[in-house]
A and B are shown apart, each in its own frame.
Chain A
Amino acid sequence: MALLVLRRLVQTALILLGVAAITFLLLYALPADPARMIAGRSATAQTVANIRRELGLDQPLLVQFWTYLQGILQGNLGRSYAQKTDVGALILARLPATLILMAAGIAVEVVLGLIFGIIAALRRGGVVDRVVMMASFVGVSAPQFVVALLLLYVFAVTLGWFPMSGFGTAAHVVLPAATLGILGAGWYARMVRSAMIDVLNQDYVRTARAKGLSSVRIVLRHALPNALLPIIAMIGIDIGQFMGGVVVVEAVYGWPGIGQLAWQAIQQVDIPIIMGVTLVSALAIVLGNLLADIIAPLIDPRIRAR
C-alpha cells in the first residue's frame, strides 16, 4: 500500500508536469494577447509593452515556463492578471463550494444508479427494466443545461421549493446536485445493471441460493460487493471531473465554484488562473483514481494479494 502511494506520487508529479507543459504551450499559442486585454482598447503600444515586461511575457517561452515551474514548486500558482490576486487563494476560496457540489452530485448519482441498476438487473427483460433503461438513456444523452433549466423552472420558479441560485444553505445545493446526479445516474444505472447481471449469473450466487439465503441477502451481501469494482473506478473518475468545475451547472445556478472561476478566466485570457484550474483538476483526477485504487482492495481480497 505504501509502495502504491509512493509510486503514484511520483507518477502524479510527472503527470502534472506534462499537463502544465501542454497547457502552457496551448495558451501561448492563443491569438489573444493578455497584455492588450489588461491594458484596454485605448492603451498605447508603450503601455502594452510595459505590462508585457511586467508580467514577464516578453521572455522566451522556456524561461517563462521555468519561472512558472519554480513558482509551483514553492506552492505559488502565480498572480491573476485581471484580479491582481494570488491564484492559489482564488482557487482555495472556491474550493468549499466545489467540494460540496462534487460530494452531493456523486452521492445522488451513485445512490440513484445503484437503486435503479439493481432493480433493472433483477427484473431483466421486464417492463421495469425497459423503463429504467429508457430513462437512463435520456439521462445519458440530455444536455446539462436543459436539465438544469427544467429543474430550475419546476422546483424553483413554479413550486418555489428551492432557491433559484446562490450558495449558502443546504437548500441551495439541492438543484445543482440533482442536475449532476440525474445526468450521472444514467451512466451508473447502466453500469450497475450490466455488472449485476454478470454477477448474478456467477456460480457463487447459485451457491448462495443453494444455502437457502433470502434474496435480499443474496443481492446485497453476495452479488453487490462483486459488482462494485467498476463503480468505484467510475467514482474515482467523477471526482476528477467534478473538481475541474462543472461550468454549465455552476453558471445556471450561480454556484461559486471552480468552474465559474475558470469560465471568467477564459474570457479574460487570465492565463495564471486557467493554468491553476487545469492543474488542480488534473491533480483531482489523479487523486480520484488513487482513491479508487486504494478502496478496490478493501472490497476485493484478490487485489490485496497482488
Chain B
Amino acid sequence: MIVPAAKPILTVRDLCVDARTPQGRRRVLDDISFDLNAGETLCIAGESGSGKSVTSLSIMGLLPKASLQVASGSIRLGDKDLVALSNRAMRSVRGGDVAMVFQEPMTSLNPVMSIGAQLTEAIREHQGSEGGMADAIARRMLDAVHITDPARRLSQYPHELSGGMRQRVMIAMALSCRPKVLIADEPTTALDVTVQAQILKLMRELKQEFGASIILITHDMGVVAEMADRVAIMQNGRIVEQGEALSIFEKPSQTYTQELLAAVPRLGAHAGTEGPPRVSAETDVAQPVSASPILHVRNLSVTYGSPARWLFKGKPPLAAVDDVSFTLRPGETLGLVGESGSGKSTTGKAVLGLIPFTGNVVIDGRDIAGLPARQMQPVRRSAQMIFQDPYASLDPRMAVGAAIAEPLIIHGLGGRSERDDRVAELLRRVGLQPDAATRYPHEFSGGQRQRVCIARALALQPKLIVADESVAALDVSVRARVLDLMLELQETMGLAYLFISHDMAVVERMSHNVAVMRGGRIVEMGTRRAVFENPQDDYTKALMAAVPIPDPRARHFA
C-alpha cells in the first residue's frame, strides 16, 4: 500500500488517439496522462467506450492500424518512447518489457497449439532459451500460477482446461519473460466470482514475486477496490479523475466518479428490508395477494447427452438440471443465482418449454410438460423471456417497432393500426420515444436496446418473465436504470420475474426469494433476507465471500 516515491516505470503524457471513420477523424483518446510507479497497481476504470482498452492497446502498440492511430503524445518506458519505436524494436518490448492478459480466456489461447508450445514460444522469442531450457521455464511458470501437474499440462490443449485455468496460463505466459509492466484488460470479467477471487489473489502474489507493476483495466469497482493502489477513472476518452484508491472511493471530486460509485450495486445494501425497494410513485399499488402461483415447478430435470448410434455408444446422459422445484407468485421475483454450469439458464429455458425436460412445469394453471407446439402457443402469451445480449437478440435488419409488433402478429392480435398504437405505448412504457419504432437496433445504445427487448417481451401482456442475465452486458449506470424499470413494471403490472443472474448484488436488489444453484441442483432457497443475511449452505457462503466489495478498506487481504 505504501507507494515508493521512485521514478515511474511507465509515463504516459498527453496521449491522443484518433479513429478513422468514413466521416473523418474522431478523437477516441484525448490527452491521457498518467504514471505507473514501480511495484504499484494502477486501475483504469470506466464504462464501455471510455477508452480504457484503447489506452492499453496503445501502450502495447497493438492498435488496429486500419482504424486507430496515435495522433500525439508519448509513452515512455525507461528511456524508450514506445510511440516512436520501430516495428521491430516494439516487438521486443511486447511480451518482453510489457506483457498483457486479455479478457476472454476461452478465446485468447490458440485452440490448435498445445499449452507448452504457446508458453515456450514467448520464452524463446525474448530470452533466446533453447528447447529444454524453455520447457523448464514453462513448467516453472505453470507451477507459479498454481496449476497442478505442470508437466502434463504442457502437452494439453486449451479446450482441455477450464476458464480459470486458461486465465492462469495466460498470466503465466505474460509473466514468463519477467515484464516490467503487466497490463491486464478485464482479466476476470469472463470468470465466475469464486474463480475471479482466486485469480485476483494470484495476481497480487505474483506482483510481489515477479516485481512487476500492474495496469488493471476493469469496469468493476469492486475489483478496483480490491486491487488498486491508485485509480484513474475514464469517461469518453478522457481521464476525469485519478488518485490514491482510498481518496477516490471516499472523497471522489468529480460528479462522474460519484455517479459511477453510486450506481455500483453493493452486496448487503438491502440488508434488513424485505423484497426489492419500491420505485414507482404510486404508493398504494395493491400487491396481488392471489394465492395461486403463476409458475409452479416440480422435480424439473434436464439431461444432456447423445443417444446411441450404430457402432457408437451414446454419451452417458449428463444432468444439467437435477430435480429442481420452486414456485413463483404474481408480483414476485425469484432470483436464480449460481456460477456458470450451475444449470440456472437451462432451468430458465426448460420453464418456457424451449428445451425438453422431465417433471412438471405449470404456468398459469397449465402443465406444459409434453405439450405440443400448437397448445404451447397460448402459454407463451403469458410467459416471455428477456435475454442477456441486447445486441444479439434483436434482428439488425428489422425496425424496432416491427420487432416489438412481431409477437402480436404471431399471436394474431389486433389490426395494423391497433398494433402501431400498442407499439407506441410499449415504447413509452419502457422510457423510449414512440418515434423509435421506425429506427433500427444499431441506432440505439446497449441500455436502450435492452429496453426494446423488454418492450417486446411485454407486448403480449405476459404474467411471467424469465430474465436470463438480462443486465449482465450493460454498464453499471445503465444497468441500474434498467433494473429500476423492471422493478417499476413489476409494481405496476404485477409481473412475476424468474431473474437469472450470476451477480449476487443484482439478485439481492431484485428478488423477493432467492434460489442458489450449483451443479444443477438448488442448494439453498428462501426469502432474500434469509439467504443473504443468514446463509446456511457452505457454497452460498463461499459465493458471497468471493464477491469483491467496492470499498478499499474492506479488502480480502491485508
* Chain A interface residues (CB < 8 Å from chain B): 3, 6-7, 10, 125, 202-204, 206-214, 217, 221-222, 225-226, 299-302, 305
Contact = CB atoms under 8 A, between A and B. Distances in A.
A210 B95 contact: yes
28 contacts: A3-B312, A6-B311, A7-B310, A7-B312, A10-B311, A202-B107, A203-B104, A204-B107, A204-B109, A204-B110, A204-B111, A206-B62, A206-B108, A207-B108, A210-B99, A210-B102, A211-B95, A211-B122, A212-B91, A212-B95, A212-B126, A222-B113, A299-B112, A300-B111, A301-B112, A301-B114, A301-B159, A302-B157
Nearest to B94: A212
Contacts of A7: 310-312
A207 B112 contact: no
A305 B160 CA distance: 9
B343 interface: no
Contacts of B91: 212-214
B294 interface: no
B93 interface: yes
Contacts of A302: 111-112, 157, 159
Nearest to B109: A204
A212 B127 CA distance: 12
Contacts of A222: 110, 113
Interface in B75-124: 90-96, 99-100, 102, 104, 107-114, 121-122
Given A210-B60, A212-B95, A301 B125 contact: no
B170 interface: yes
A212 B109 contact: no
A112 B66 CA distance: 27
B190 to A, nearest CB: 11
B94 A209 contact: yes
A305 B157 CA distance: 10
Contacts of B159: 301-302, 305
Contact size range, B = 35 or more
Q: Which of B99, B111, B112, B170 has the most CB of A within 10 A?
A: B112
A203 B108 contact: yes
Q: Which of A204, A222, A300, A302 has the most CB of B within 10 A?
A: A204
Contact of B94 (A3, A6, A204, A210): A210
A297 B480 CA distance: 47
B112 A225 contact: yes
Interface string B151-181: 0000001011000000000100110000000
A12 B109 CA distance: 38
A207 B170 contact: yes
Contacts of A301: 111-112, 114, 157, 159
In order of increasing CB-CB distance, the 8 nearest A-B pairs are: A212-B94, A212-B95, A211-B95, A203-B107, A301-B157, A204-B110, A211-B122, A212-B91
A202 B107 CA distance: 7
Contact of A300 (B112, B126, B160): B112
Q: Which of A125, A209, A212, A217 has the most CB of B within 10 A?
A: A212
A217 to B, nearest CB: 8
Interface of B: 60, 62, 66, 90-96, 99-100, 102, 104, 107-114, 121-122, 125-126, 157, 159-160, 170, 173-174, 310-312
A217 B108 CA distance: 17
A210 B170 CA distance: 11
A23 B75 CA distance: 72
Given A204-B107, A299-B112, A302-B159, A210 B100 contact: yes
B122 A212 contact: yes
B160 A213 contact: no
A125 B22 CA distance: 14
Contact of A204 (B96, B108, B122): B108
Contacts of B113: 221-222, 225
B387 to A, nearest CB: 23
Nearest to B90: A212
Q: Which of A6, A7, A211, A299 has the most CB of B within 10 A?
A: A211
A251 to B, nearest CB: 42
A210 B62 contact: yes
Contacts of B100: 210
Nearest to A126: B66
Given A211-B94, A212-B95, A301-B112, A3 B311 contact: yes
A214 B126 CA distance: 12
A160 B108 CA distance: 54
Contacts of A209: 62, 94
A221 B122 CA distance: 13
A212 B176 CA distance: 13
Contacts of A207: 102, 108-110, 170, 173
B102 A213 contact: no
A61 to B, nearest CB: 31
Nearest to B60: A210
Contacts of B66: 125
A211 B96 CA distance: 7
Nearest to B61: A209
Contacts of B62: 206, 209-210
A211 B173 contact: yes
A217 B91 CA distance: 12
B187 to A, nearest CB: 13
Given A206-B102, A217-B121, 12 more contacts: A203-B108, A207-B170, A210-B174, A211-B173, A212-B92, A212-B94, A213-B121, A221-B121, A226-B110, A226-B112, A305-B159, A305-B160
Contacts of B109: 204, 207
Nearest to A304: B157
